[in-house]
Structure 1
Amino acid sequence: MSIGNSPEDERPFEDPSEEAPFSIGRALQQARIAAGLTVGDVSTATRVRIVIIHAIEADDFAPCGGDVYARGHIRTLARAVHLDPAPLIERYDATHGGRPAPTPAAPLFEAERIRPERRGPNWTAAMVAAIVAVVGFVGFTAFKGGDDGASKEQVAEGTPSTGKTASPTPKTDKSADKTPEPSDSAIAAAPQDKVTVQVSATDGRSWISAKDHNGRLIFDGFLKQGDSKTFQDSEKINLILGDAGAIDLFVNGKKLNDDFQPGAVERLTYTKGDPQVG
């Protein structure tokens, strides 16, 4: 009876020390889970569709529609989950052929080729200009001579010639009174029986979501820099700030001195007894 090797002995040796290749999707997924966010939360905060987020977390970038859009989605999702997007973009470029090469500048001889040819002086135009200048000078001399004759006749008749022209009466320009704009902290007194929250995008653009105490959506959209929104409810206001660092909050007539970081996603609730984070 011959003794041979079993099929299990012929399997290739696997080194357990080898690390799995760096995965953009796995890094984004782990950062999202660590931040306590669902795919729906990230989609709401970034406006990236849920199906695209799932595809990117599975390292499938085909639904993005091209390398430019894929890089933009990776950068947006990384910021939403508090992750540095630079290593992810470098990894994407390394695995997808890198960034497109810039368009080469046109050769120098092409610019020389389209340069207009120099022409000699246009003597005809110069002669026409000289003739016009002579005619104009003669006409001006004759007109000035007529004015001098009229002045002499006035002196002979005894009419004094002062040689001065009456100065026009100065007009007083009255600028319209302008009503000074109120400062950021000067807002109307809030009613005592309601909770009033004013959201102002002072340092940049941010996505905002606001709901009342029944969970009904009051507002869902972006505020551009300089825009503001005011929300009121009888009991409480629930907020989600997509970029809390760009927002100033006024609760029941008082400005909050928050320390939100740029790009941070914050979930806040305010009631009639605030200002204080609920």
Structure 2
Amino acid sequence: MSIGNSPEDNRPSIGHTLQQARIAAGLTVDEISTSTRVRIPIVHAIEQDDFSRCGGDVYARGHIRTLARAVGVEPAPLIEQYDAERGGRPAPTPAAPLFEAERIRPERRRPNWTAAMVAAIVAVIGFVGFTMFGGGSGSQGKNSVASGPTTATKAPKPTPSKSAPPKPEPSDSAIAAVPKDKVTVKVSAVDDKSWISAKAHNGKLLFDGTLAKGESRTFTDGQQVDLILGNAGAIQLFVNGKDVQNDFQTGQVERLSYTKGDPEVG
């Protein structure tokens, strides 16, 4: 299907184009949702040109691209149409403000030379006083030795000091000591916000909502944890205490399942 040959004012809407292409391909909304991992309510909303349920422009572009490929439509013109209808794609952040922000960062605290000098002076005074009083005692001791027989004095035994018990070394990760008989999944939104859905092995919903940038959620189940990541490229995963490396892209929707033992993508 081509949408680039008609004038801009007369071309069909994004939702209408995707709906007609789906019908022409003989696919139902349920089948599209299963193959694209886009939830059924969101598919219905997009086909009605309602992008408010996508969670933002980044997610909306990702859903449009995913649905277009599923029904055999070139996604690039639809993305351009989406940006044009909303005033164009947001411009990237200019470099100048980043450098300005770097300049206004607070300077590192300089060493307190005054305090260091005072401490040095106190140490010198203490050493001089000790030398003066200790030297006098030493002189008297020498005179006593010259006038009488030499006697050996035993030095007092040092009193053993009680050493503090060694502190336990910190673990490599806050979730390194996860229970071995359960599966533990920690989800952190590192680069951007992301819509997250998590379920236990019996279908119980553990969480369904948006995880803001910098937020984390930890899910535990005795057998399995199922995840849906709406913006997988922004997510960092720790499964059973291990950092899961991935190549997810921004706006990409991923369905994952994890069980006990080494992390394995479902």
TM-score (norm 1): 0.46
Q: Which of the pair has the greater relative contact order for Cα pairs under 8 Å at 6+ separation?
A: 2
TM-score (norm 2): 0.48
